[in-house]
Structure 1
């Protein structure tokens, strides 16, 4: 896992195909107060998973989640992924054709989640 606020390059996104690898990577993310990210083989295809519950910090606001959701929808529409779930603190996408493509997607979403969280920590809370 990376240090908090630092995105991972695709080559460092852990392969959590085995349950024990997933457990260790998640434990490492929690220890390092980092957003959890991994890829995992599912049959002949790959899955991407990101989980911000592994670290402290603000939930990503709805406006930012909309951006992530829009990108995920484009990946589905272009058949890069077959399904995607996007929530303020959790992202999963699956049936990605290659490990390399899954790593690229995981790294990009990891960078986006971290950047959006950091951006919103500097924005003053608006009182309604």
Structure 2
């Protein structure tokens, strides 16, 4: 099944980037499609999730706060047991119990990032007068 570039991916289509070769290929594909990069990867007995907006417009500070709160909640509840790195352009979460849960989280954040960016484009923040 092929997805339109620039669209959120369902959990089943999130690339497994456990190998460095798979990670490079998926990142290159996302960059060529001007898409938000998303992946899952096995790390020992656990899984990690990575998202990178690459060159897409950034989400607003308010939207970033929503994403950050969700990341913090996953860490606080132990769903993401290895901690997380968060920035407006990059999110990584480590030590997720299994691949299925990692894919679910990756797909949700991928969709949220697209949705928040689309909302910002549709409803731009008023600029201050000079």
TM-score range, shorter chain: over 0.9
Residue 84 of structure 1: how far off its partner (Å): 1.5
Residue 5 of structure 1: how far off its partner (Å): 3.8
Q: How does 1:1-128 map to 2 (within 5 A)?
A: 2-53=3-54, 55-56=55-56, 58-82=57-81, 83-128=83-128
Q: Which has the larger radius of gyration?
A: 2
Residue 125 of structure 1: how far off its partner (Å): 3.9
Residue 80 of structure 1: how far off its partner (Å): 0.2
RMSD of aligned alpha carbons? 1.4
Residue 2 of structure 1: how far off its partner (Å): 3.9
Return the TM-score normalized by structure 1: 0.92
User: Any conservation in 2 of the 1:86–1:92 contact (CA below 8 Å)?
Assistant: yes
Give aligned pairs, total. Answer: 126
**Deviation by residue 1:40-68 (Cα, 9 ceiling, x = unmatched):** 11111000000001x43x21111001101
User: 5+ unaligned residues in a row in structure 2: which ranges?
Assistant: none
User: 5+ unaligned residues in a row in structure 1: which ranges?
Assistant: none
